[in-house]
Amino acid sequence: MSMKKQLLMFLLMTAVSAANAQSRMDTIRLADPTIFYDNRTYYLYGTGSPDGFAVYTSNDLENWKREDKPALLKSDSYGLKSFWAPQVFKYRGKYYMAYAADEHIAIAVSDSPLGPFTQRVHQPITEPGKQIDPFIFKDADGKLYLYHVRLDKGNRIYVARLKDDLSDIDSSTLMECIHADQGWENTAASGWPVAEGPTVTKINNLYYLFYSANDFRNIDYAVGYATSASPTGPWTKYMGNPILSRKNTGQNGSGHGDLFTTKNGELFYVFHTHSSENGVGQRKTAVVKLSNLGQNPAVISVVPGTFHYLQIKN
C-alpha cells in the first residue's frame, strides 16, 4: 500500500473512531438540577421523569453514569405527578430529598444518596396553597430553613423555619423573601411575574439567595442573587443582576439550578438551558464555575469559559 493510501486510511479510521466516541456521549437532560457531593462522589438529580427522580453519579464531574435504579419512585413517597426540583442533603446521619410533586412540597429519607428515598406516611408539608422549588438551608446554629416558591399573584420566594425533625414548617415564621419586580426579571411584561429556584449559601456572615426569574420558557430566563444579614431577610438584590443568562452562556433559558462546592472547595452552579435555539424541549444540564472576588460583601460572578454541558456515556 502506498504512503498516500496509508495516510488516507489512517485519517479515515481516525474520523470513524472520533465519530464513534462522540456517539457514545450524550448531554444529560434534566431540568432544575442539583448536585450533591458525598464521600468522593457527585450525585446529580433533577426534573425529568413523570414517576420520580433518576440519579446520576460521577467521581470527577466530567464522566457521568445513570444509575439503574431511580432515587425516588412515586409509589414510595408523596405525589402522583409533576415531580420537580429535588434537593438532597445530609442531616443527622440520614440523607433527605426535598422535592415538589402535585405542586406541593414533600421530604423523603434514605440511608444512601442513591436512594430509595421514601416516606413512612405519604404526605406533603401541610401549609395550604400551591408550593414548589424547595431548598433547605442549615445555619451555623443548627436551625433549618425551608426556602420555597409559593404561587400567589406570581411565583414568589418564601422562607419558613423547618422543624428539627423535618416533619413540617413552623407556619408562624412564614414570610416572603423576594418577588420579580425588576425589568430583567420580567422581560415579557407578564401578568404573572416569576422568581423561583431558590438556593442559599452563607459567605462571611452574609446570606446569599440565588434565584431565577422570567418564565422558564422565556429565552431571557436568568439567574441573579440577593443578600441579607439574616436568613429571613430583608433581602437586597445585587445591582449587577443577572449574573448568569444567555448573554454569558450563549444558550437560551439559562437558569434554575443549585450551588455546590467541589472536592477542591471551588464554587459551582448547576442549571439547565433550553434544548435548542428554537425550542425549550428536554432541557439540557450544564455547569459554570463561580468566582468570589473576596470582598465583603462578596461579589459573585461566572468565571468566563467554564460553561459546559454534562455528558453521559452510552
Q: pTM here?
A: 0.91
68 catalytically annotated:
no
Homologous superfamily (CATH) of 31-313 is: Glycosyl hydrolase domain; family 43 (2.115.10.20)
What H or E segment, with its residue span, contains residue 19? helix 3-23
Which residue out of 133, 185, 196, 220 is catalytically annotated? 196
Prior bond of 234 cis (ω within 30°) = yes
Strand, helix or coil for residue 138: strand
Supply the DSSP string of 37-101, one letter for each residue. Answer: EETTEEEEEEE-BTTEE--EEESSSSEEEE-SS-SEEGGGSS-SS--EEEEEEEETTEEEEEEEE
What DSSP element (H or E) covers 287?
A: strand 284-292
Reading the chain (314 residues) residue by residue, the pLDDT tens digits are 554 444 344 334 444 444 444 445 799 999 999 999 999 999 999 999 999 999 999 999 999 999 999 999 999 999 999 999 999 999 999 999 999 999 999 999 999 999 999 999 999 999 889 999 999 999 999 999 999 999 999 999 999 999 999 999 999 999 999 999 999 999 999 999 999 999 999 998 899 999 999 999 999 999 999 999 999 999 999 999 999 999 999 999 999 999 999 999 999 999 999 999 999 999 999 999 999 766 667 889 999 999 999 999 76
Is 32 an annotated catalytic residue? yes
Q: With CA atoms as reference, report the closest residue to 242 among 251, 255, 229, 230.
A: 255
Where do the domains of the chain lie? 31-313
Distance CA(161)–CA(146), nearest Å, equals 6
Cβ 28 vs Cβ 44: under 8 Å: yes
Cell numbers of 223, please?
439567574
User: Nearest CA to 46 among 244, 232, 260?
Assistant: 260
Catalytic residue among 32, 133, 220, 258: 32
